[in-house]
Amino acid sequence: MDFEKQIKRHIHAQQHSFFMITPVGFENIGKEELSKLNIESNVEVGGVEFIGKLEDFYKATLYSRVATRFLMRVKSFKSDSLGPFFKNILSIKWEYYLKNDSTVFFHVTSRGSKLYHQRMLEEKFRDALSEYSNLNSMNLNFETQDSEFEIKNGVTIYLRLEDDRATISIDLSGAPNFKRGYRKFISDAPIRENLASGLLLNFWKNREKPFLDLMCGSGTFTLEAISILKNIPAGGARDFSFMNLSHYKEAMFKHTLKKSDEDIIELKNREFFFSDIVEKHVIGSRRNLVALGEKSIKSAVLDFFEFKPNFKERGFLVLNPPYGKRIQEEPVFYKELYKKLSLDFKGWELLLLLPEAERIKTNFQNKNRVVFENGGIPIQAVSGIIE
């Protein structure tokens, strides 16, 4: 049997286990996204697991707005000593995943296991994979990857040991999925795109009314809101590391991408407005919107405290103020913020991001709250109708 037929039989024709990593607290949103694609899944802490064929994964990676990363499960086995660990690595048909001359990186974690030294585990993994490549006439290049390295032409293998059980996965994303490919300008301490989308999918229900983003930063909330309305695939403007794998079905992925592009709709009769007190933020946000195909969204360089809403109806207001060290005299700032909301935005639906420790002093109808981390900082998102 030639290699192409082997790949078709053992990979393309089979179902596989995939894991969609999401921000903690956003797992159910990921499950809802997969459900809309007719993909059944199970929620775990930090992500969603699902079983499917490659075409199911291709749809998921294009359409999921909340995903951080996708992994393809390769093998799981008990592992409490190095001998069996080495043999299990050798037993995997690596040519089904890795092309000849691939550059391979490792991401190793261990918790509650007898094999706990991560550097030693990575070296043992590398030794086993080197032996396999020599036995099977493969040429693999090994590199050390730090947590910020963005892979363009390589593949990362994930090894997780937990309670003496090893799980080996292939990273399918490369750069994290929140990097959409269309945000060219990035402000200081921006919110990640998948977090912004997750919050909007959770709290932004009435999407026919005006949408205001009045401390826009990089314009991320506006970009994600427009993408949701237009049905723009979140992964349609970038490359992924699964394209470097031996089982990548280019024709199938391009067909899926073409169908997703055909589902994009135009914005009609929708009121959007974004602003920021910092001019470069507004200019940068305009550039980001142009990259998304939108040139007519209204904007201004404006202090939030000077803005007066003048719309036929109340709508949805997003506020992502600077926090932590970025604000001086925080109590005064927040006091003025709550006063402004009560005076000028009564009846508006608000999504407000604040430090987790900040006590909200604005009255809401239908108040909701979710806590998450952005850049390692605990943040609370509060939503409701301002009274």
pLDDT digit string (tens) for 12-23? 999 999 999 999
Residue 150: pLDDT over 60? no
Average pLDDT, the chain: 90
The pLDDT score that the predictor gives to residue 151 is 60
- Which residue ranges form the domains of the chain, and what is each CATH number? 3-171 (3.30.2130.30), 193-231+266-386 (3.40.50.150)
Query: Looking at the predicted structure, is the pLDDT value of residue 152 above 90?
Result: no
Burial track 153-181 (b if 16+ CB lie within 10 A, e otherwise): ebbbbbbbbeeeebbbbbbbbbbebbbbe
Q: What is the pLDDT of residue 326?
A: 46
Q: How many helices (H) and strands (E) does the chain have?
A: 10, 15
The CA distance from 256 to 180, in Å, is 17
pLDDT of residue 186 exceeding 80: no
| Percent of all residues in the chain with a pLDDT value above 90, rounded to a whole number | 70
Low-confidence winner among 25-39, 232-246, 257-271 (lowest mean pLDDT)? 257-271
Query: Does the structure show a pLDDT above 60 at 148?
Result: no
Q: What is the pLDDT of residue 248?
A: 96
pLDDT in tens, 54-100: 999 999 999 999 999 999 999 999 998 999 999 999 999 999 999 99
Higher pLDDT, 354 or 152: 354
Query: What is the reported pLDDT for 376?
Result: 80
* H or E segment and range at residue 109: strand 103-111
Q: State the CB neighbour count (10 A cutoff) for residue 201.
A: 18
Return the pLDDT at 387: 86
> Which is nearest to 194 in space by CA: 234, 242, 141, 145?
234
- Residue with the larger pLDDT of the pair 374 and 44: 44
Residue 274 near residue 299 (C-beta atoms within 8 A) = yes
pTM: 0.92
Question: What confidence score (pLDDT) does residue 1 get?
Answer: 61
